[in-house]
Chains A and B, each alone.
Chain A
C-alpha cells in the first residue's frame, strides 16, 4: 500500500470563483501549462504529493454551463465523461450560490463523484449570508467543504475529503426534476439502455430533450428511432410549458437551484451599505465612472511608461559594451555577427519584457483581482459595440498599448471566433510601447508634444474606422455582453504573481523563437550586402510616394523585428540622435504614421499565426502594409499644406 497511490481530480467552476487560486495553492510549482489537443485553449495541469498520495490536478476552463456554446464547455464535458477523473471538485462562489448551483446541477447530471467547495465564505459572511452546510450536503448528496482560497483556509480539507472518499466508494444520487420531465427521462432511458454510448443514460435522455447537437449525432449513428421518441416527448413538454423543451429543462435547473438556495441560505443581517458598495456605485456611475476610469488607466500608463523608460535606459547602459566585447573576443566574422544578432534579439526581448510587459501585467492582474476590469468592460461596451465587438475587447486594447503580443493573446476572452479575430486585428493597430518610443522620440521631441498626442488620437480614430469596416465585412451576429459583475475584494499578491508569471512565460515561449530567428535572418541579409538593393527597390514607395530618405526602406525592414529599431538604427546611421539634421517635421510625422501601422512586429505575427493560422496572419500583414503606405502618403500630402 505504500507506493503508487494515485488520485486524479479536476477543478470545475465558473469564472471569479477563486478556481485558479485553489489550483495554484494545491499544485504550487508542480504545474505544467499545455494546450488542449488541437485547440488554442490552455490546459493547466499540476501534481500534488500529499499524505502518501500523488494527486493529479487539472484545472478546467472557467465556464457557466455544460451545454455546447463554446469550445471550453465541450472540452470540459468530454474530459469529465471520457477521462473519468476520481473526483470533480466543483468550486462555488458562496456569495453567488444560486447562479453557481445551476452549473453544479449540470455536473451532477454527469453522474461523476463530486466534491463541492464553497469558496469565499468570508465574503459571504460579510454580506450577511449564512449557509447550512450539513443541510446542503444532505440535499445534494455530495460532500461540501467550506474554504477561503485567498487565505488558504480549508484547501487541504478538499484533498483530505478526496482521500477519505477514494477509500470507500459511494453511490451518487442525481438531482431529480419535476414529474413530467422525470417521466420523459425514464421513458427515454429504457431505449437508451439498448445502445452503447460512453455517457450515463439519464444524461443522454436529458441532453436529447435539450436538443444537444453532439448527442443527437451520436444517437443517430446508433439508433435513430430514439430521436423520434425524444422529439415526441419534447413536443409534449413544449405544449405543456409553452417554451422550447431545452428551455424547459434549463428552467427546471434554475428553479431547483433557487429552491435549494432558499432552503440552505439565511440572510442574517440587513445588508449595510458597505464601502465596496459605495465604491461600486462611483466606479460604475454614468459620469464619475468614466472619470475614475481615466484616472486609473492614465495612472497605469504613466507609471508603466516612466518605470519602463527608466529600466530600459538602465539596461541600455549595461548592454552597451557587450557588442564591443563580443567583437573583440569572438571576432568579426560572418557567423560571429550572426551569433551577435541572436544574442541581441534575446537582449531586446528582455528589454521589452522586463521594463514594460512585466509591470503592465502586474497592474492589470491587480485590477482584475480587485474586480475593476469588469467595470471597464461595462463602461466601454457601448463604444466597443460600434466596432462590432463588446466591452471585454477593451481589455485587449489596454494590454495592446503595452505590447501587442499579450494584447493579441488576451483576445481569447472574446466568445466567438469572429469577435476574437476582429479584436486581434484592431490590437495590432494600437501603438504599443515600442511605437511610442518612435512617436515621442521623433515627433514629440522635434515637432512638438501636441503633435505626438495628436498622432495617438489619430491612431485611435483609425482603430475605430478599421473596426467599423471589419465588423461590416466579417459576417456574423455580434455577440452581446453578458458578464457577471464581481464584488470588489482585496487583491491577493499570490494570485497576481502566479497570473503574471504564467502570462510572461507564455509571452516568452511564443515570441522568443521567432524574434531570434528573424533577427538572425535579417542580419544575414544585411551581411550579404543586399540592403542597398532592397532600399533602392523600395524607393518608389519610400522616396517617391512617402517623400522619405531612401534609408528608411532598410529601417522599416529592421522595424519588423521591433518597431523601436527604426529609431535606434536611424540614430546609428546618422551617428547622432539629432534627427532634425536629416528629417523635416513633415517627414518625421510621415515616418511615425508608417511605423504605427505598417506591419505587426514579428512577435505579434507569431501570435496571429498560432491563433488564427498562417493565411490570416499573412493577410493581416499585407493589408496593413498597403493600409499604412496609403495612409501615410495621404498624410504627407495633407502636411504639405501645413508646413
Chain B
C-alpha cells in the first residue's frame, strides 16, 4: 500500500518502478554501509525484481545492479517517481 505523499518502502515498489531515497530507517552502521555503496538520500533507485516468497530484491542505482536483503530493503524509504 502506498501511503500519502507517495512515500513507500523499497519493498513496496513494483518491478520496474523507480523511486528516490528519502531516508534509511536503520542503524548508523547500516546507513553508512549503504552510503559507501552510493545509496544516500536523493539517489534514484529502480527495482528490477524480487523473487517468490519475498526474498531479496534486485535494484539498479548509480548505473549498476545491487542485491539487497529483504529486511534491509524494507528499511529504505523512497519517494515514488
Q: Which residues of A contact B (CB under 8 A)?
A: 64-65, 67, 69, 95-99, 102-103, 243-244, 246-247, 250-251, 253-255, 257-258, 261, 284-287, 289, 374, 377-379, 381-382, 385, 390-391, 480-485, 487
Contacts and interface: CB of A to CB of B under 8 A. Distances in A.
B68 A482 contact: yes
A482 B58 contact: no
Given A244-B28, A284-B49, A481-B56, A102 B37 contact: yes
Given A289-B51, A482-B37, 15 more contacts: A64-B36, A69-B29, A95-B63, A99-B62, A247-B28, A247-B32, A247-B35, A286-B51, A377-B67, A379-B51, A379-B55, A382-B54, A382-B55, A481-B68, A482-B33
Given A96-B64, A246-B28, A284-B58, A385 B69 contact: yes
Interface string B59-77: 0001111111111100000
B51 A480 contact: no
B43 to A, nearest CB: 7
Nearest to B57: A378
A110 to B, nearest CB: 15
Contact of B32 (A95, A250, A379, A483): A250
Nearest to B15: A286
A6 B41 CA distance: 45
A255 B35 CA distance: 10
A485 B37 contact: no
B67 A254 contact: no
A402 to B, nearest CB: 25
29 contacts: A64-B36, A67-B32, A95-B63, A96-B63, A98-B64, A243-B31, A244-B31, A247-B28, A247-B32, A247-B40, A254-B40, A254-B43, A258-B38, A284-B58, A287-B52, A289-B51, A374-B67, A377-B67, A381-B70, A385-B69, A391-B56, A480-B30, A481-B68, A481-B69, A482-B37, A482-B72, A484-B37, A485-B64, A485-B67
Contacts of A381: 55-56, 67, 69-70
B64 A99 contact: yes
Interface of B: 28-43, 48-56, 58, 62-72
B44 to A, nearest CB: 10
A391 B51 CA distance: 13
A378 B33 contact: no
Nearest to B52: A286
Contact of A247 (B31, B53, B69): B31
Contacts of B33: 64-65, 69, 482
Nearest to A415: B33
Contacts of B36: 64-65, 67, 102-103, 250, 254
A482 B32 contact: no
B51 A98 contact: no
B77 to A, nearest CB: 13
B63 A97 contact: yes
Most chain-B Cβ atoms within 10 A of its Cβ — which of A284, A481, A484?
Answer: A481
Contacts of B28: 244, 246-247
A382 B53 contact: yes
Contacts of B71: 480
Contacts of B38: 98-99, 102, 254, 257-258
Contacts of B51: 286, 289, 378-379, 382
B65 A484 contact: yes
Contacts of B72: 480-482
A67 B34 CA distance: 12
Nearest to B53: A382
A378 B33 CA distance: 19
A94 to B, nearest CB: 11
B33 to A, nearest CB: 6
Contacts of A482: 33-34, 37, 66-69, 72
A-B CB proximity, top 5 nearest: A250-B35, A382-B55, A480-B69, A485-B65, A65-B36
Nearest to B49: A284
A385 B32 CA distance: 23
